[in-house]
Amino acid sequence: MSLPQHPACPVVIDVAGIALTDADRRRLAHPLVGGVIHFARNWVDRRQLVALNAEIKAIRPDLLIAVDHEGGRVQRFRSDGFTALPPMRRLGRRWHRRGGDPAARALAAIEDATACGHVLAAELRACGVDLSFTPVLDLDHGASAVIGDRAFDRDPRIVSLLARGLVQGMLQAGMAHCGKHFPGHGWAAADSHTDVPVDARPLSAILADDAAPYGWLAQVLTAVMPAHVVYPRVDRRPAGFSRRWLRDILRGRLGF
């Protein structure tokens, strides 16, 4: 494997299967590798996952082991004792449920989010996973199929409060988390796994709406994942490659 020889660019890699190969071990030992992300192909059962993660840590105790494990359709491990978690939209709908006191409904939804976060994190931590790439902070504009029911709600205030509940539960179980996809993927219809989505709104509109949760949660989030979306009225580069989005706005303006 050839990696760029630059001390400030650690990368997160994946491994090929359910056990490490010699090539995996060589890559994991490289000083520019900072972590590992697991996928469904790396899972058979809890015993196998525990053994895989133990071997990774034996090679490099400092490596971060992560996974996309949100609930709903984005949950990599679903059997052998793992709880089937709901999509986050269900928590948003609980917030809006009719009948009773609105404040009580909101508190119940936040409590449910905290419970989901605790279960999610406790089950992963028991298998040696350090971080889950959740919560999704995108707003449900109804345009993005790849986001869809992964979003809590359309209202950034509700998204922020439910996400805060979720990460509180995760932190109680000893797990770091990652808000995504900054500054927001919900407006752009294209799937960034296969295309380059474009959001042509002005910066003021994005900051007032989609990016608002990042400012409100800046002192809570342990990590942020940028969107692979181009916002041409802000920068020609996708957010993840944009100094303006990451340094000037996320860090400088929003205080992350």
pLDDT tens, position by position, 29-55:
999 999 999 999 999 999 999 999 999
Structure tokens at 33: 């590798």
Q: What is the pLDDT of residue 3?
A: 44
Q: What is the pTM of this model?
A: 0.92
**Per-residue confidence at 248, pLDDT binned at 50, 70, 90?**
very high
- Read off φ and ψ for residue 49, nearest 5 degrees: -65, -40
**Per-residue confidence at 9, pLDDT binned at 50, 70, 90?**
confident
Mean pLDDT along residues 174-192:
93
- Our measurement of the distance from residue 250's CA atom to the centroid of its chain's CA atoms, rounded to an integer in Å, reads 16
Mean pLDDT along residues 83-92:
96
Residue showing tokens 């009948």: 99
Q: What is the mean pLDDT of the chain?
A: 94
Mean pLDDT along residues 17-35:
96
With H, G, I as helix, E, B as strand and everything else as coil, classify residue 32: coil
Q: What is the pLDDT of residue 8?
A: 59
* Integer Cα distance of 255 and 160 in angstroms: 16
Q: Name the strand (E) or helix (H) holding 83.
A: none
Could you tell me if 92 and 186 are in contact, meaning their C-beta atoms sit under 8 angstroms apart? no
Burial string for 191-218 (b: 16+ CB within 10 Å, else e) reads ebeeeebebebebeebbebbbbbbbbbe
Closest of 218, 113, 222, 112 to residue 174, by C-alpha: 222
Give me the helices (H) in the chain, please. 22-29, 46-59, 88-95, 102-125, 156-172, 203-208, 212-216, 243
pLDDT at residue 210 above 70?
yes
**Per-residue confidence at 243, pLDDT binned at 50, 70, 90?**
very high
Q: What is the dihedral of CA 88, 47, 1, 243, to 10 degrees?
A: 20
Q: What is the pLDDT of residue 193?
A: 83
Could you tell me if 211 and 182 are in contact, meaning their C-beta atoms sit under 8 angstroms apart? yes
Structure tokens at 212: 């608002």
pLDDT tens, position by position, 114-140:
999 999 999 999 999 999 999 999 999
pLDDT at residue 205 above 90?
yes
- Read off φ and ψ for residue 244, nearest 5 degrees: -65, -45
